[in-house]
Each structure stands twice: as C-alpha cells, then as structure tokens.
Amino acid sequence: MFDLVRKHTKILMFMLFLLIIPAFVLVGVDGYTRFNEGGEAVARVAGKDITKAEWDFAHKNDSDRIRASAPTIDAKLLDSAQARYATLERLVRERVMLAAADKDHLTTSDTRLARDLQANPSIAALRGADGRLDMERYRQLVASQGLTPEGFEARVRRDLSVRQVEAGVVSSGFTPAPFADVSLGAFFEKREVQVTYFPAPDFAAKVTLTDADIEAFYRASQARFQAPETVNIEYLVLDLESIKQSISVNESDLKTYYEQNAARLAGPEERRASHILINAAKDAPAADRAKAKLRAQELLAEVRKAPDQFAELARKNSQDQGSASAGGDLDFFAKGAMVKPFEDAAFVLKKGDVSEVVESDFGYHIIRLTDIKTPKQRSFDEMRASLENELKAQQAQRKYAESAEAFTNAVYEQPDSLKPASERLKLQVKTASGLTRAPAPGSSGILANAKFLAALFGDDAIQRKRNTEAQETAPNQLVTGRVVTHTPARTLPLAEVRTAVREGLTNVRAAELARKDGLALLAAWKVAPTQATAAPVVVSRGELQNLPGKVVDAALRADPMALPAVSGVDLAELGYAVVKVNKVVGRAAPDDAAAGQARGQYAQVWSAAESGAYYSMLKDRFRVKINVPRPAPATGGKAAGS
C-alpha cells in the first residue's frame, strides 16, 4: 500500500488538488473553519451563534474548576444534563452582557485592568520580595486555564466591562425601611389554623375492585407500568490498578530499589530535646532583640557551669509557656517539625550536648539534646511485598499515559470488538447487565457514570454495535464498552404487575373517597365555621408544625380581611385536608440588629430581582434563542413496576 503511494505521489497530489480546491470554492475557507469548530449552533445571541464546540469547551473548563476546588464531588453531577444546561445558560448570559457592553460602549482602561490584576491574590503570590512578577510562573498559571497571558488579560478586561452593565442596576437598587418592614412582616406572618385530615389509606378498606376495574386502570395507565430501556454490556477499564497487574518486577530490581531507599523506607530519625527560650519577635526593635540575646547568653553560661540543672533553669527562665513547666522538654520530633534554625542545630548535636544560642523568628534558644531515636532497619524479606507494590505503582504511573493512548486508539481503530484492546493491554473484559439510561439511585462508580451511560445508549453503540469512545470516568481511569443486547422500553404484561396495578387503583379510589368526605366537611364548615373541633396550631413559613406544605400555603393565602376562612386542600393520593384559618398572629418585633439584618437580606433579594428583570429585558433586546431543550429536573424515583 505504501509502495503504491510512493510510486504515484504526483498523481495523488493532483487528484487531491482537484478535490480540495473546488470544495474551497464552493463552501469557502470559513465553511471549513466552522466545520472544524463543530459548527452546530446550540444558541444565538445578537445574531451570533454559540456552537456546540464552544459549549463543550466551556463545560469542560467549568467541570475542571469545580473538581479542583471540590475533589470529592460526585463526577456524575458535573456530567448531568442539568449541569451542562447550566453551563449553556451561563454562556448565553455572558454573551448577552457582552453585547450590552458593546452597545453602550462600556470599555475597561489599561489602568483599571492593571489595578484588577494587581489585586488578584493568585497573581500577587507570584511576586518576589522585590515586587517583580515571575513571568514564567504567570504563564504557567494562565496556561492551566488554557490561555496565553494576552488571552487571560483580554478575558479579565472583558469581565470588567461586563460588570459595568449590571453595576448601574444593582448599585441603584434600594428599599426604604418601611416598605421592607411591610414585606417582611407579611413573609414572617403567623396564622392560627385548625386542620382536619382525611388520609387516603384510612379509606383503602372500603375500596372493592373487580377484574374489569383492574384491567381498565391498567390500559389507561400503562405509562406507570413500564420496564425501562436496558442494555447488557461488555466493558474494559484502564486504570493504575489494571496496569499494575500487568507489570512484573524482577528480583534484582527489587533489591536495588531496597538498597537505594532502605533509609527512607525505614522512617525518619527522631530526636528529643529540651530548650530555654527568651522571646524576641522577628519585628521587635533591634535594642529589644539585643537585650534578649544577651539574657540568653547569660543563661547559656549558667548551663555550661551546671548542665544537670538545665531542666530547673528552663522552669525558672524559659518564656515558652508550653514547655517551661516540663523543664523545657519538647518530646521527640522529626525533621520538618521545628523551625529551620532550631532543627539545624538539634540535628548536629550529640546526645547530652548543649547548643550555642540559636536565633529564630521566635527569639533565642538554648537547646539540649536528650535522646535520639534511630529507626529500625527492616530486612529485604520483611519489606519485599511493600517494595514490590510501591515499585509497581511508580511504573504504572509512568506507563499510564502511553497505555491510555494505546487504549483509546485500539477501541477506535477496531470498533467491532473489545478483544484486541484487551489482549494488547492485558485487560479483563468485564460484563454488566440491566443498565438503564439513568444511574440507579444511590449507585456510584463506573456503571453509574452519566457520561459513560450516555455513550452506551448512543446510536453508535446500540444501532451500529460499535465500541464507545474511551471515556474518562475518574482521574487516571478510562473505560470503554460495547452493547451485547439491547432491550427497548416496554409495557410490562398485566400478569407481571397485577399487584402494583391493584395497589395503584386502590390508592386512587381511596383518595376519591377521602376527597368526597373532605368536601362534605368543607361545605359544613363554610355554613357553620364554629363546628371545627381540631386543636388549633400556629403556623408560618418557618414553622410548618409537621403540616404538608400545601396545607400551610393554603392557610397563608387566605384573605386576612375575611377571617375566619375555610378552604379544602387536595393532597392527591395522600388524601384531603380541610383548613380553617382563625386569625393572624402578629410577628414579634425583632431587635434592632435582627431587623437590620433582615432588611439587608431583603434589599439583596430586591436587587437580585431587579437584576433578573433587567437581564430578561436584555434577552429580548438581543433576540436570545436557545436551541437545546431544557432537561427535566433530576429525580431519584423509579417507575412503577420496574
């Protein structure tokens, strides 16, 4: 094949020229650019598209930033449809604000940009003692965000311009105290209510069902009795553990590693010392530090005359309150536990020796070394298992990048089987059955990864029977799978779900009976409200008194000018409730501090509402269109009969 290419290079070049040049003429260079950028438009703002490639890139950056700040976060939350849609909404908002800034000619000066960059704590940490910025570390910082210094500064400039768009709205928002107090008073208002329940389960015994009733309910409610779409799969996992299992370490390498690391593996040497400290803060006047040093030298002379009296001298003279009462004893410590000057002095002393006066940021020390704990050197045979595990882990970490590339290529280049990748990388083909599009509630791990499940239920995997692309499901972990069998969603036969159908219909009929009795009581109370005999309770938005939210909402919606008021609350299959609101219970006057805090929170909510309204107006002005449907809220429930 390659000989053919070499022999006919000129002919092939001419053919490519004939194919490519007309294509550029027909679609243009810009068409190729859009193709390479993944030109599918997921949204449009002010006449400009947001492409799927831009959306994917933004979501990856958002996810990486969240993982860096919260490493233990569940990865499936970041890969969910809801999280991706939130990223798209953020992108749309950003484009809307940019369009508004551009229309209103809001720009950021070089001086303002420089001031913001100087105030950035991440950048400030890169400055040396002389105040100069370490440019190499600065480039590394912005490169970690996928940017050049110029790109990073352009983004900051853009963000500052965007902030100006909302600043006028947010900063001008205010709520006079009387208005805030009226709203807060209504929000925290309490009401005395009497509630009578008609729980549906109490009526279940009165329900009688025929086979015809059950069959009719089953036919009318088949969506409730669906078995979800499922797949049975084979899959491969490449991670550090799987690579470790393929690595063998020979005996000579183990022995060499033992000889090179025996001291480190045995553990650090520890030393025990006592000290006398004369305090002198690092920023104390020079005269005070000189006085403290002189006092330390005087005490050192006393120690030299009577070394056995060190503990007594420490008790009487040391200004280290933590150790003075123990004769200056600091117990055992390893390197890294003490400040550097103290550590350097302690680790050159012999047992029983006393140091010269040692200066540190805390003051002046006199150190006496009282003991040395040398770690026990374990034999090669004792450490063989741990040495082998450590060496394999190191080699696996180095080999992972190479193996990851081979894994990705193998499952792509030979998409009809996992066997080639399995044999090449010595990986076990695993199996799983009954997987659904959504992870089972409470599940975790690879088979609960939303990204992997989405790939398994894609057309490539189900219709074309191809391996999924290698998916990164955790740090240093890649997974691919292929669908062995696919079972579409189906309505379960009545014979299989007859019990569930009976229970469902019983609940519906019991709720109807509860509602019937509830409506009868409601009519009676409306005629004669004094018939209400339930114990009165006081409720508010913050004190539900174990009542359902719907009941409390109904109580708070009642017109305070027409009390007592009676209303019914349909609780669906839970039953029915009749609520009588007797009176409004005034809110206790808060103290000045609590009132001020509440007004401040109210002002924030008011400003947020004004900002939201302003943004909605801008969306209309710039003709925002999102082409991706909003995903349904995530739920943890199961379909009946599943």
Tell me the pLDDT tens digit for each residue of 40-84. Answer: 888 898 888 888 888 888 888 787 777 766 666 766 677 778 888
State the pLDDT at residue 503. 93
**What are the tokens at 607?**
């400003």
What beta strand segments (E) does 282-427 contain? 329-334, 358-360, 363-373
State the pLDDT at residue 39. 59
Per the CB < 8 A criterion, the answer to whether 425 and 403 are in contact is yes
For the cut 60, the answer to whether the pLDDT of residue 638 exceeds it is: no
267-284 pLDDT, tens digit per residue, is 678 899 999 999 998 888
**What are the tokens at 397?**
């970490």
State the pLDDT at residue 185. 67
Which pairs count as long-range contacts for 437-441, CB under 8 Å and 24+ apart, including other chains?
437/228, 437/229, 439/76, 441/636, 441/637, 441/638
Per the CB < 8 A criterion, the answer to whether 346 and 270 are in contact is no
Domain boundaries, the chain: 1-36, 189-224+493-585, 230-243+399-488, 268-373
Write down the pTM of the prediction: 0.45
- Mean pLDDT over 247-253 rounds to 81
pLDDT band at 622 (very low <50, low <70, confident <90, very high): confident
Query: Please, what is the average pLDDT of the chain?
Result: 81
State the pLDDT at residue 9. 43
Pairwise CA distance, residues 236 & 407, whole Å: 9
Pairwise CA distance, residues 376 & 385, whole Å: 18
State the pLDDT at residue 170. 67
- Mean pLDDT over 321-325 rounds to 88
Using a pLDDT cut of 90, give the percent of the chain over it: 29
**What are the tokens at 496?**
């299989």
- Mean pLDDT over 515-536 rounds to 87
State the pLDDT at residue 17. 42
- Mean pLDDT over 389-408 rounds to 83
More confidently predicted of 132 and 278? 278
Look at 162-176, 395-409, 442-456 and tell me which has the smallest mean pLDDT. 162-176
For the cut 80, the answer to whether the pLDDT of residue 575 exceeds it is: yes
For the cut 70, the answer to whether the pLDDT of residue 1 exceeds it is: no
For the cut 80, the answer to whether the pLDDT of residue 615 exceeds it is: yes
Pairwise CA distance, residues 265 & 1, whole Å: 55
For the cut 60, the answer to whether the pLDDT of residue 641 exceeds it is: no
Sheet of 430-435: strand order equals 430-435, 230-239, 477-487, 471-474
For the cut 90, the answer to whether the pLDDT of residue 370 exceeds it is: yes
Pairwise CA distance, residues 100 & 394, whole Å: 53
Using a pLDDT cut of 70, give the percent of the chain over it: 87
State the pLDDT at residue 257. 76
pLDDT band at 243 (very low <50, low <70, confident <90, very high): confident
**What are the tokens at 28?**
């243009």
Axis crossing angle, helix 592-621 with helix 149-172, rounded to the nearest 10: 120
145-159 pLDDT, tens digit per residue, is 667 888 788 888 888
State the pLDDT at residue 172. 66
Look at 22-36, 93-107, 448-462 and tell me which has the smallest mean pLDDT. 22-36
For the cut 90, the answer to whether the pLDDT of residue 138 exceeds it is: no
Angle formed at CA 169 by CA 164 and CA 174, multiple of 5 degrees: 135
pLDDT band at 131 (very low <50, low <70, confident <90, very high): low
State the pLDDT at residue 153. 81
Pairwise CA distance, residues 387 & 393, whole Å: 10
Burial class from Cβ neighbours inside 10 Å (0-12, 13-18, 19+) for residue 482 reads buried
Of 193, 189, 190, the residue nearest 535 (C-alpha) = 193
Verify cis geometry, omega within 30 degrees of 0, for the bond prior to 564: yes
State the pLDDT at residue 634. 55
Angle formed at CA 127 by CA 121 and CA 128, multiple of 5 degrees: 145
Per the CB < 8 A criterion, the answer to whether 85 and 630 are in contact is yes
State the pLDDT at residue 21. 39
pLDDT band at 509 (very low <50, low <70, confident <90, very high): very high
Burial class from Cβ neighbours inside 10 Å (0-12, 13-18, 19+) for residue 479 reads buried
Pairwise CA distance, residues 184 & 548, whole Å: 23
Burial class from Cβ neighbours inside 10 Å (0-12, 13-18, 19+) for residue 313 reads buried
- Mean pLDDT over 301-313 rounds to 92
For the cut 70, the answer to whether the pLDDT of residue 160 exceeds it is: yes
Choose the most confident range, by mean pLDDT, from 59-73, 84-98, 101-115: 84-98
Fold type of domain 268-373: Chitinase A; domain 3 (3.10.50)
